Amino acid sequence: MSLVDAAREVREMAYVPYSKFKVGAAVRAASGTVYRGCNVENVAYPEGTCAEAGAIAAMVAAGETQLVEVAVIADSPDPVPPCGGCRQKLAEFGAGDVPVTLATTGGGRLETTIADLLPGRFDASHMRNAT
């Protein structure tokens, strides 16, 4: 199963009673294992949590901390980019050259990288002088 197909499958599990906007994400860890996440809304936080964050949380919960590929899919006219918080999370767990596929349920695709999504990213190298 492709990473986009894994994201497409988990997208159907999204809990979106307010926005009705389902998003699925899948990340491939360095081990080759695929972790999936979908967006989740609730009454206290109706904008919900992001699919990418869910996939990364599943990866970390399994003891992995390096991703090597990302896919995100939504039913949208154009591919939907990750929010700013998710871009930073992707940058935390993936190198700048990690491929990111943004897809639509209608077949649209945008191929990019973590570095292109978050130029000038903040990472651990910025804290080398911290004592």
Residues with a catalytic annotation lie at 52
For residues 57-71, average pLDDT: 98
The answer to the question of whether 111 is labelled as a binding residue is no
The 10s digit of each residue's pLDDT in 71-87 is 999 999 999 999 888 99
Distance between CA atoms of residues 128 and 42, nearest Å: 39
Does residue 121 surpass a pLDDT of 90?
no
The answer to the question of whether 41 is labelled as a binding residue is yes
Q: Which pLDDT score is estimated for 56?
A: 96
The answer to the question of whether 129 is labelled as a binding residue is no
The answer to the question of whether 38 is labelled as a binding residue is no
Q: Which pLDDT score is estimated for 125?
A: 78
Task: Select the more confidently predicted residue: 128 or 121.
Answer: 128
User: Into how many domains does the chain fold?
Assistant: 1
CATH (domain of 102): 3.40.140.10
Distance between CA atoms of residues 56 and 47, nearest Å: 19
63: β partners: none
86: tokens are 């998710």
Q: Which pLDDT score is estimated for 82?
A: 93
Q: Which pLDDT score is estimated for 131?
A: 77
Do 40 and 14 touch, CB atoms closer than 8 A?
yes
- Residue 96 sits in which domain range? 3-127
